[in-house]
Chain A
Amino acid sequence: MDQSPSITETPHQSVTFAAGLRLDCGRTLASVTMAYRSYGTLNAAGSNAILICHALTGDQYVAEPNPETGKPGWWEIMVGPGKPVDTDLYFVICANVLGGCMGSTGPRSPHEDNPDQPWGTDFPQVTIQDMVRAQKLLVDHFGIAKLFAVIGGSMGGMQVLAWAALYPEMVFAAVPVATASYHSAQNIAFHEIGRQAIAADPYFYAGHYWREGMRPERGLAVARMTAHITYVSEEALTRKFGRKLQNAEGLSALGDQFAVESYLQYQGSSFVQRFDANAYLTITRAMDLFDLAADHGGVLSRAFKGTRTRFLLVSFSSDWLFPTAQSRAIARALNHVAANVSFVEVQSDKGHDAFLLDEPDFHQTLRGFLAGCAEHAGLA
């Protein structure tokens, strides 16, 4: 992979909140920019808004081609006219997370004290809750008093849970998908491999790679490759690649001989073109820090005490990164406070990534859940 100068800046639609934001770490960002996309039309009562929360490496381009990669939106299969999250019915907002690198305030934004330089590793460590507070600024900006639904998978699901815990009166329905109320030791361990790979890249320069006109692409690519393995199931990898060789001339000690190797290398190299290494460090750490129960005396149900939000929890049978047991634990915590909760495990062999893929059972479940909620909310 060639080392090339910093990522070209694409303009993103955004709002800047000059009042800033106080973070969980105790520091305050003097101003916060939130890059976002919206689809559909907000009704007169402002009651049909759905907030989509993206995962670790996602962005705000949920239902349209990503301007930096030209690839389809990451959840076009789910969000759009006539889709399960129907933009003919709902006003859909998706914002780049705080700490991200697609236009929202993050490590690549100008440093407060030295605007000629990016924050880099000086960017304050944000939490999932900080991301949610920043999203609330945007929701308030739209004049939306109550979101009809907040939906997200993986890290997006963590944000959904944080929304339901922080602003229960603002969330009519919550759909945390393939997620957990805390990041497990195994998940933290995989993230740490990725972070170490980035830190070990000679072009990382202790996080100041932009000064050298460099990027730690190899390290970031290895981080992505490791993470990618955790997103798929053993079964899916076997079905897709098995032990297929990339060329038939037999094995040599080096080179991408197995098809799965070249696939992973492609995943790594395409990722570094669109993602900032410091943002990756910041966001993975935010996920690691997430533990909703710990914020409530170690008892998860306390996070949802008195909630009137309608919940739909979805897990996938072959997801070993955020296994069904994690979703069930959340469902049980919600039962403890007699919350209105639906819980479905979708049969799939596609692993954690299943939530992004063509899983008709999941799509029909979400569509039906939203329709039921719309009726209760007086939208239907």
Chain B
Amino acid sequence: MSGPRKIRVDLALIAQLVAPDSRVLDIGCADGTLIEHLFRAKNCDARGVEIDMREVQRAVTHGLPVMQGDADTELVNYPDNAFDYVILSRTLQAVEKPREVLAQMLRIGTHAIVSFPNFGHWSLRLQLLFKGRMPMTAGWNRMWFETPNIHPCTIDDFFALCEVDGYIVEDWLAADEQGARTPWRRSRHLANLFGEQGLFLLRKA
């Protein structure tokens, strides 16, 4: 394995939220780019779960600890507080039971880091308003009948869920499609209108 390499901007943003030397579980880790980065750059004990066997094989062949499994079913197997951070990047909207997955993440980890595409973005709102059809954007690019994104939500929706389920939002930000930070931090409502993705760092109350 080689030294630290440049990673996608959205993963870099997530990595910034993770403290050095911590225990991390990355759910939906794909080929393990983020866990490798967290190991090399932050000396984390980082592991992954990934549903796609080809990606799992790629990660393990690269020397990374990744197991094949489904976010909806595998998290129950871990003990309480096994990790400092449990990461779910761009996947929450695709799981079968987002609320349950979130609850499991904050059971097995002291922190959860969650990112998701914001369905409240102005371009989606306009498309729905004027065309009357399900919006199609770079992030929401599959037709409604075949999209894996079965649980779309907005940044405001996510804040509301955190409040109902008693999660403390330690940090949050809106990001553009590439995952880079956007300036909409000061206002939730502006972020909800102009942010293409939401990124949250949560902990239990």
Contact = CB atoms under 8 A, between A and B. Distances in A.
Interface stretch (B71-79, B126-134, B179-187, B192-200): B71-79
B63 A369 contact: yes
B78 A336 contact: yes
A368 B58 CA distance: 9
B78 A345 contact: no
Given A335-B77, A338-B78, A343 B68 contact: yes
B49 to A, nearest CB: 9
B62 interface: yes
Interface string A339-378: 0111111110000000000000100110111011101000
A342 B67 contact: yes
A342 B48 CA distance: 8
Q: How large is the interface on B (under 10, 10 to 19, 20 to 34, 35 or more residues)?
A: 20 to 34
B15 interface: no
Contacts of A134: none
Contacts of B53: 344-345, 347
Interface string B2-28: 000000000000000000000000000
Interface in A303-352: 310, 312-313, 331-332, 335-338, 340-347
B159 to A, nearest CB: 31
B87 to A, nearest CB: 16
Nearest to B56: A344
A303 to B, nearest CB: 15
Contact of B57 (A310, A313, A341, A365): A365
Given A344-B60, A369-B60, A338 B65 contact: no
A331 B62 CA distance: 19
Interface string B95-122: 0000000000000000000000000000
Contacts of B69: 331, 343
B82 A338 contact: yes
B137 interface: no
Contacts of A332: 74, 77
Contacts of B79: 336-338
Contacts of A340: 45, 47, 65
A335 B66 CA distance: 12
Contacts, number: 69
Nearest to A373: B63
A368 B61 contact: yes
Interface centre among A313, A369, A372, A373 (most CB of B within 10 A): A372
Given A335-B77, A337-B79, A375 B63 contact: yes
B64 A372 contact: yes
A296 B9 CA distance: 46
Contacts of A345: 53, 68
B62 A368 contact: yes
B1 interface: yes
24 contacts: A310-B65, A312-B60, A313-B67, A331-B69, A332-B77, A335-B67, A336-B78, A338-B78, A338-B82, A340-B65, A341-B47, A342-B59, A342-B60, A342-B64, A342-B65, A342-B66, A343-B56, A344-B57, A364-B57, A364-B61, A368-B60, A368-B62, A372-B65, A375-B63
Given A340-B45, A344-B53, 9 more contacts: A310-B65, A335-B77, A336-B77, A337-B79, A338-B78, A341-B65, A342-B59, A342-B67, A347-B53
Interface of B: 1, 45, 47, 53, 56-57, 59-69, 74, 77-79, 82-83
Interface of A: 310, 312-313, 331-332, 335-338, 340-347, 361, 364-365, 367-369, 371-373, 375
The 4 closest A-B pairs by CB, nearest first: A372-B63, A368-B61, A343-B67, A338-B82
